[in-house]
Copies of this chain bind each other. A is one copy, B any other.
Amino acid sequence: MINFQSDYVEGAHPKILEMMAKTNMEQTPGYGHDPYCDRAKAKILAVCRAPAADVHFLVGGTQTNLTVIASILRPHQGVLAADEGHIACHETGAIEATGHKVLTLPSRDGTITGAQVAAYMEDHNQSEIREHMVQPGMVYLSFPTESGTLYSKQQLTDLSETCHRFGIPLYLDGARMGYGLTSPDNDLSLADIAQCCDVFYIGGTKCGALLGEAVVITNDALKKDFKYHIKQRGGMLAKGRLIGIQFDVLFENDLYFNICRTAVGHALAIRQAFEQEGISFYGHSMTNQQFPILTDDQLAFFGTKYISEFWGKADENHSIVRFCTSWATKKESVDELISDIHAMGQIG
């Protein structure tokens, strides 16, 4: 079986393992106070063109989201998010477990707009019974979204200006950041994101690392005491260098971008093949995740040879399925899948 189920079915990019092996016996201080973390932070700040920002390394996405959000909100505040946002759906109520409601905005493609945020803020602020409702205290975006869509530079700038106008921070979850930045549809850079967002994270786990996410805090008001929050929520590794080494390697010579770009290329080739066979898609993803809508027969056809992720029923006879690529996806596997897609077209 060839596995396209997710972007975390293999281990880490080999250069990471090499560096881990090479530095294994070096003695370094714990809890992220090591030279590898320092070096990785410097590289991240450089590419973000945000020399005054803070960088912190955390273990995984859910933990990063809950730690960042709980560090920002006061008890009566909630976080605005798309109704398909990861924090709203697939983190077992991690945000609520820290005491905060996720306030959802309707979204057809996973994105939300500055206008939606502004309308929500105004409605709340003008309500005579606003103290009986959760106060929106920040905005959460994912880039790319859970269904692989992107924010344009204009859309992100709008959101940023709206947030600043209402005095609430903008937070961007970049679990799959690399695949968004290297999509042919994208016009954002990490520097743009650093300029628009008060805090965001650059995903490692799904972009070639074993684990680890890099939180970048650009807003001075949000920097204070962040390490306490990491420790309290269980995100501070004793052997912190484990994540430092990985980001150090990934941000050396654009490795992070190069491997993600290749993965996106593979995904778009798969997309094209499906399109050629008249298959339609859930959402419009130009990133490493593709969501073709297949009949039960088509599903069965692929199921004999490929592992994909069931994403939901589209209607009684159709299912949405996710095919994912990553740094580890082999060209041969992609070619074989494409060939089978065309074979499927001929058959059914």
The interface of chain A, by Cβ under 8 A from chain B, is 1-3, 5-6, 8-12, 14, 17, 20-21, 23-31, 59-64, 66-67, 70-71, 74-76, 78, 89-94, 96-102, 128-135, 205-206, 210-211, 225, 227-239, 241-242, 307, 310, 328
Contacts and interface: CB of A to CB of B under 8 A. Distances in A.
Nearest to A25: B10
A71 B74 contact: yes
A97 B98 CA distance: 7
A11 B238 CA distance: 10
A322 B68 CA distance: 33
B76 A228 contact: yes
B25 A21 contact: no
B6 A234 contact: no
A62 B62 CA distance: 16
Most buried by B among A26, A96, A232: A232
A101 B91 contact: no
A44 B99 CA distance: 33
A238 B23 contact: no
A11 to B, nearest CB: 4
B6 A24 contact: no
A177 B135 CA distance: 29
A61 to B, nearest CB: 8
The 5 A-B residue pairs with the shortest CB-CB distance, nearest first, are A63-B234, A76-B228, A11-B24, A3-B27, A92-B232
Contact of A96 (B2, B100, B128, B211): B100
Nearest to A66: B234
Nearest to A243: B211
Contacts of A229: 75-76
Contacts of A99: 93, 96-99
Interface of A is mostly: loop
A10 B128 CA distance: 20
Contacts of A98: 75, 97, 99
Nearest to A231: B92
Contact of A11 (B25, B130, B205, B328): B25
A16 to B, nearest CB: 9
Contacts of A63: 233-235
Nearest to A26: B10
Nearest to A100: B96
Given A76-B93, A206-B238, 6 more contacts: A76-B92, A93-B101, A96-B96, A97-B98, A135-B225, A211-B242
Nearest to A103: B93
B75 A132 contact: no
A238 B239 CA distance: 19
Contacts of A89: 133
A39 B228 CA distance: 36
Contacts of A9: 27-30
A62 to B, nearest CB: 5
Contacts of A6: 30, 238
A167 B98 CA distance: 26
Q: Which of A93, A228, A236 has the most CB of B within 10 A?
A: A93
A212 to B, nearest CB: 10
Nearest to A5: B29
B134 A96 contact: yes
A183 to B, nearest CB: 21
